[in-house]
Amino acid sequence: MLEFIKPGINLNFVGRRKIAYTVSFILLAFTIISIAARGGLNYGIDFAGGAIIQAKLSKPVPPEKVRAALDKIGLNKASIQQYGIKEGEEYLIQVGVEHKNLGELTTLVKAALEESFGRGQVDIRRNEMVGPKVGETLRQKALLAIYYSILFLMIYISGRFEMKWLMSIVVAAAMLLVTYIATIAGMSVIYLIVIALMVTLGVCFLLRLKYALGAIIATLHDVLMIIGFFSFFNKDIDLSIIAALLTIIGYSLYDTVIVFDRIRENLAKYRKKDHAEIINSSINETLSRTILTSTITFSVVACLFFLGGEVIHDFAFAMMVGIVTGTYSSVFVASPILLIWPEALAKAPQKAKIRA
């Protein structure tokens, strides 16, 4: 295997876990503040419902003039975004759900733009419409897809690393049943997912499914980081971003499994060594592979981001953020969580002495 990091390197990742946790908490706090300040996430047409019209003009036109043209036909609340390589020639016009007839709306928009910029100077490249009910259903299914992927992650990690297949399957099946019943009962999907995730984490902690707990927390960390960046940069969340989130969940899991595999091997090999020392050396042993994999993947996604065009721009952006946070969480979030129980056992005798 290609290595550009010298064998025997011993960077103290575990010793710096408190600093890493502090950084993560600060970034997650900014995520919550950003979402609250904006009044929630920006949903694309896929989730919010409405119409999207892609219009190409024969010559560059400033956004404010396009806005003025649409204001004349009562579309003062429409979202206007520049699109394509040449600035000012192509625009995405997103209109709310109150305009239900896509054909009439498209004709109206084209007529308004041609009145302002000349007849025959406007080409409608694309027009789509999603109803509010469809958007809400898609949003719910997207959230459930992310949650279900985390449950299956728990089964895989617990079975592979702790040989607790039956226990993890029973827990996941129970959570799926509760989620299904709550959905049928009409409970809000957002609150349902939050409660279900908290219960899942609590069950993993109580049953000491430490590998699963570490992997789930790292995965949630990555998902929330991506959402935070999208909120901060005021980008829309649509189906392509959900696809990116699910992809990053798989990527982050792959990265975490590599580190966990080495930790498990070293724990069996060096039983008398300190757990923190074993985990730290395991991270260092897999560091070259982790950095190489992340660098190559990031480079490919960066090419998509800069050269792939506007259609794939946000997907690539989500992937870039996810690759960085996924690599970070495998080293600084997932692995140190394995120390929760050994550290608690080490502190127990000291507490007994103090009480005595």
> Whole-angstrom Cα distance, residue 59 to residue 275?
65
Cα–Cα distance, 146 to 142 (Å, whole number):
6
Q: What number of other Cβ atoms are within 10 A of residue 323's Cβ?
A: 25
Residue by residue, DSSP assigns 278-317 as: HHHHHHHHTHHHHHHHHHHHHHHHHHHHHHS-GGGHHHHH
The partner residues of 261 in beta bridges, in order of sequence, read none
- How far is the C-alpha of 196 from the C-alpha of 200, rounded, in Å? 6
Residues 6+ apart with CB under 8 A from 205: 213
Q: Which residues contact 229 (CB under 8 A, 6 or more apart)?
A: 235, 317, 318, 321
User: At residue 243, does pLDDT exceed 70?
Assistant: yes
- Per the CB < 8 A criterion, the answer to whether 262 and 334 are in contact is no
Q: What are the pLDDT digits (tens) for 296-354?
A: 999 999 999 998 877 788 999 999 999 999 999 999 999 989 888 654 333 433 333 33
Angle, helices 165-184 vs 132-162, to 10°: value is: 160
How far is the C-alpha of 110 from the C-alpha of 73, rounded, in Å? 11
DSSP assigned state of 95 = E
Residue with tokens 């394509």: 84
Q: Which domains does the chain have, with CATH numbers?
A: 14-43+134-352 (1.20.1640.10), 50-130 (3.30.70.3400)
How confident is the model over 244-279, as pLDDT tens digits? 999 999 999 999 999 999 998 998 888 778 888 989
Tell me the per-residue pLDDT of 159-184, one tens digit each, with 9 for 90 and over: 988 888 999 999 899 888 888 888 88
Q: pLDDT digit string (tens) for 39-66?
A: 888 888 778 778 888 999 988 888 889 9
Is pLDDT at 7 greater than 80 in this prediction?
A: no
Q: Which of 186, 184, 312 is nearest to 244 (CA)?
A: 312
Task: Report pLDDT digits (tens) over 100-118.
Answer: 677 888 889 999 999 999 8
